[in-house]
Structure 1
Amino acid sequence: MNMASNHQEDSENLYENASEFSDSNSETASDSGSCHSSDSNSSDRTAKRNICRYYNDGHCRYGDKCQNEHICKYYVNDSCRYGAGCRLNHNPRSHASRGPNERRERKSYGGRHRRKSSPSSEDSDEDDGRPYRWQLDLGDGWEDIANDHILEAQFSRPNTKGIRIYNTRAGAISIDFTKMRVLKKRNIKVRRKGSKQTEWLWYYRGDHGWYQYGEKGSKGKASLIQSSKLEKEYQKNLQGSVQFPIDSHTYEISFKGMYQKNVSTDLKRRVRRRPKYEPSQTGVLTSVFKKLMAPVNKTPVWQFEGRKGKWHTFKNTGGCSVSSDDIEKCYQKQQNTMTFTINDDNYTLNFSRMNQVNNRTNAKRKIQRT
């Protein structure tokens, strides 16, 4: 079993090294920065392959008869911001990415080719009945990740930036969901293989968390545009944009930059596209992951563990100087600790260790964010 821990922007920080993730907390930042790789070899890799520019723009008139490769040019350079969510081909050995001569050669070989015994690059069917498959390539072909419903559950939540999984053949690895890559290990690749039945949902970063398009945001107003409409427009042109009104304001969503912009004020907010979670047919989520699947709009509550394991919410009453909301505000500022008082005693909350310490007696209690 691959044990895992996640990193979220606005929920409990279980990730061991948050600095590994590149998402900016600024609302003006795009979801994953530039599409272009900083690797000096990127342009060389693209130049060596005859990649169809019209396919990448979303409209190659020749289709399968095209002389050039139909493959995502950013994937070739390891810089595709959409990762598993990209609608362009990420399979270097697929039918679409081969030239016409190679396709004829493979077709003349009895119409079939030998499969490798282990799941390799794209030899397995795109849709084998499962709604998704998460896989790693450690250098010798693609292999399924055990208990991948855990990864899918986390990936489906827009506020989760990545996950750390354990007990792989390469040891513990960190996966960045926004760029769909393994951090600090360039020789290992990760991918999510979906199905045509996947329902994609669209979210924007509001003042108090992530909100799905078409649902009420932090100010109680719902956008007129739905996730289904955005997905339809995205499939037409992943480099395009779409505009929609809310009250007297007009907003524009850029698919290329993955941000929402107020046309009048130029204020930008990050946008994310994540799949609707489909529970695994072979297993049941544990209570921990059920909690993680709670609505992303919910205001977090901070609690401390009392006697007999009972949890109590922090309240600014009975001599306590802070409330749950006060702690959340401090937590959102990404501080490691905060201090408060209860009657005459001083306490320190440690967000990385998730405990509170009485500074006089050194007594410790667990805390949690739900």
Structure 2
Amino acid sequence: MATSNPFEWQLFDGQKWSTICNDIFIESHYCQPGATGITINTSMGSLYIDFDAMTVSGPRANLSIRRNMFLSHNQKQEVGWYYKDNHRWCEYGSQGLSGNTSSITSDSIEQQYIQNPNGSVQFSAGHMNYTVDFTAMTQTNMYTLMMRKVRRRPKFNSTVTVNSSLPIPTMASPIHLPNTSTECIWEFMGDEGIWTEFQKPGCSLDSADIERLYQQNPQSQVSFIAGRQNYTLYLNGMYQINNRYGTKRVVRRIAGNQQINGQYSQVRWQFKDMDGFWKNYNKGGYRGYCSVSSEDIEAQYQQNPAGTMNFRAGRFNYDLNFSDMTQTNLSTYTVRDVRRL
């Protein structure tokens, strides 16, 4: 990290990531809820950074932008949630133009967002009830159906110390492996429950990039691009979030070709087959091919015990519901019991 600040803005020129000089000006602008972007002058010419989409445009193609965070294990950055009240952005918990104060604050919204970035939260202000949709980043009046824009921005150079006796609200705990000279592989849970490695050129980060950031600070956050989508990777929680849609996927770190180590491998997931016997989820095979293992299911379960996940077995696709502990064949709608041992 080039400065003592907890943040670092970097620019990808199509070949390598470079730290942007005097990025404190970008950070201070980014932390203003009303700022849509900023224009900076670089050796590549004038570039425009779009804060909502987290993209950069300029005279050259293949440009990308990312924001890294470097915090100690007992620190977190304060985040503000804002809605556009007519012509100005107001933080939740403060008094709006109508004179009413919302019954919810930025901290409480952030906690709900971390638990489920695809969800929503309801609150009241005056005699009205509202819903904040995290995916659409909108606020809706439940009576008049009026919608307002919502933004989530960090507060400038504002970090708080987390009580070490209390758990930090993350969806999954980091998988700590012993430091060895073996090259580490970073993977995310892809479609149909299949672990997929971070690789270039489809992704702006690969395993080596992520491992380097992880060694610098296991609590950091990093923005990256895959395809046409922008994501944030939370190393302290071992998950990534699609910045546009709010989709969250679990991430894991493994050493070389070793099997995933620790807590996930000690749990077995089983389904009750048509013959009445409990059978393990086994990845691979031929006629009974399954796209997930017990470790894969446990990783998703740790991320959201009330959620669901999709997988494939043979020629059928299934939905596994953690709340009901059932699996449903999405073609025949056959439902079978599931258990966790």
For this structure pair, what is the TM-score category when the shorter chain's length is used for normalisation?
Answer: 0.3 to 0.5
Q: Which has the higher helix share?
A: 1
Q: Which has the larger radius of gyration?
A: 1
TM-score normalized with structure 2 length = 0.43
Flag the structure with higher strand content.
Answer: 2
Q: Normalising by structure 1, what TM-score? A: 0.39
